[in-house]
Homo-oligomer: A and B are copies of this chain.
Amino acid sequence: MTGQLKKIVLGEQGLVVIFIVAFALVSLLVPNFLTDRNMLGLLQSVVTVGIVACTMMFCLAARDFDLSVGSIVAFAGMVAVMASNASGSILLGLLAAIACGTFVGFINGVVIAKFRINALITTLATMQIVRGLALISSDGRAVGINSPDFYQLALSKLLGIPTPIWVLAILFGIFGFVLNRTVFGKNTLAIGGNPEASRLAGVNVDRTRIWIFALQGFVCGIAGILLASRITSGQPNAAVGLELSVISACVLGGVSLAGGRAAMSGVIVGVLIMGIAENVMNLLNIAAFYQYIVRGVILLLAVLLDNLRSSAFGRR
């Protein structure tokens, strides 16, 4: 019996199992947690982190880093609002936002892959540059949305579930498929495992990396649009520090920073764990300062558990 149990908890899907147990416990113990409204609120609160985590997973799996995501999200949100306002067409605004996000990501990718500049530094630089652009373009102030239709992006519902949650679910699905079932996904993992060997095996490493960053930018564009719609304005200071939340969620989900290891299921669980932690702390009315400590401890515990699991199976 215990052997059986151990196998389940420590197996491939161990993190998922742990998560389910934790979820059940929280549902029982925390009042107001397991209600429709709270669940929807919880899911909506992880939309930005979750969307960006999809591609951050690729980035980390390829042994890279992207610190610029927060800035791109804010910038794309600004662009979406300003372009919509200026052109009077929401569609144009959305396209412009996604184009801008993708462009920044593309530039990141080119600088990193072609000029071989460390990804951490490159994205640290673009993080500042893009944040600067967002601030300059609006003179540091939030920009309101003229057309109320824009809010509908975030407010509209399908089958009782808000659109942003659908978008998140669809992206989870797409990127899970891309990671495991496409050449691009496999190449990404191979690059993370051994970039030089992958290159010699005919993988176009530079192009793959550029694609990864461009995709990251694209996805940040989507996240930026949904965020702007949710907060009904473009805010140059939005999503500060997003990069660390996203990276934490990925690592919690078992993505290895040393590259070569990633799974969509893990990332989803990582994102949810982070969201639930925030949600429960607020439900339990934990004082702001203690939230810091709780957040840190949860992070540690989660990786520690995952580690026990891996080392029980002899892998590092």
- On A, residues with C-beta under 8 Å from B are 67, 111, 115-118, 120-122, 124-129, 131-133, 135-136, 139-140, 244, 247-248, 251-252, 257, 288-293, 295-297, 299-300, 303-304, 307, 311, 316
Contact = CB atoms under 8 A, between A and B. Distances in A.
B124 A297 contact: no
| Oligomer copy total | 2
SS of A interface (majority): helix
Which of A120, A140, A288: most chain B CB closer than 10 A?
A120
Contacts of A122: 300, 303
A300 B118 contact: no
A101 to B, nearest CB: 17
Contact of A307 (B115, B126, B292, B311): B115
Given A124-B244, A244-B124, A248-B121, A132 B300 contact: no
Given A117-B300, A131-B292, 17 more contacts: A115-B307, A116-B307, A116-B316, A117-B303, A117-B304, A118-B251, A118-B257, A118-B303, A120-B251, A120-B257, A121-B300, A122-B303, A124-B248, A125-B296, A125-B299, A129-B296, A132-B289
A266 to B, nearest CB: 14
A294 to B, nearest CB: 8
Which of A290, A297, A300, A311: most chain B CB closer than 10 A?
A300
Given A129-B296, A132-B289, A303 B121 contact: yes
Contacts of A139: 289
Contacts of A316: 116
A188 to B, nearest CB: 19
Nearest to A63: B258
Nearest to A241: B241
